[in-house]
Amino acid sequence: HEFKYYINFFEYQVIRNRLKRILNNDLYSNANGNYHIRSLYFDDLHNSALYEKQAGILARRKFRIRIYNLSEEIIKLEKKSRIGQFINKESIQISKKDYKKIIDKDFSFLKESTSKLLNEFYFHLTASKIKPDVIVDYVREAYTSKISKIRITIDKNLRTGLLSTDLFDKELPTIDVIEKPLYVLEVKYNNFLPNFIKDAIQLSSSQRYAISKFVICKKFNKLNNWEDN
């Protein structure tokens, strides 16, 4: 399950103070409980990933390459699939060399891999012609629990690389894509959400939004009016 909410600065302060007392910080977190995420999303020439989201297609998927704290140490290729409110994320770590090959359109090693995820990525790169599309850049504060694999994240300073898809460019010009002081709260869990977690966040179903950081960032590179819908 995945539910998303916009929260303001006051709500953020209240919720984070509660979560700090009952959950653990994510393993990527620094001393302040934060870490930086930059993702490179892929889409085809027809903007199919964007269209499927905007049209409310029930079953859809997106590919992305993600790094943390602008480091080359961990580079992940991920496929995020969704059916309604249910999500599934497949992930595999790749090397900087593999990343460069993908960017340079040298895809053959993906086909030869024993990884089904890399094989599928190869298929979409060649058959669906997906390509590097948009950078999504933000700071994340994350809290986790082993109970039902609960993961609650607060994403701040959402930005995009304007007309650039260079994932490792530390000087990449980025622009704000969301009104401040709004934050994005995401609540993820497998089977159930305990009452003590519900009490900590105190958000109703009427406050949920179909928030997509990919779509929000895409609108700054839009070519069609429908991309704002």
Any residues with CB less than 8 A from the CB of 216 and at least 6 apart, and which? 158, 177, 178
pLDDT in tens, the chain (229 residues): 989 999 999 999 999 999 999 999 988 888 888 999 999 999 999 888 888 877 767 678 899 999 999 999 999 999 999 887 788 999 999 999 999 999 999 999 999 999 999 999 999 999 999 999 999 999 999 999 999 999 999 999 999 998 789 999 999 999 999 877 889 999 999 999 999 999 999 887 657 787 889 999 988 776 555 445 4
pTM exceeds 0.75: yes
d(CA 137, CA 176): 9
User: DSSP 3-state assignment of 226?
Assistant: helix
Tokens of 207: 């406050």
Q: Is 188 within 8 Å of 2 (Cβ atoms)? A: yes
d(CA 129, CA 124): 6
User: DSSP 3-state assignment of 127?
Assistant: coil
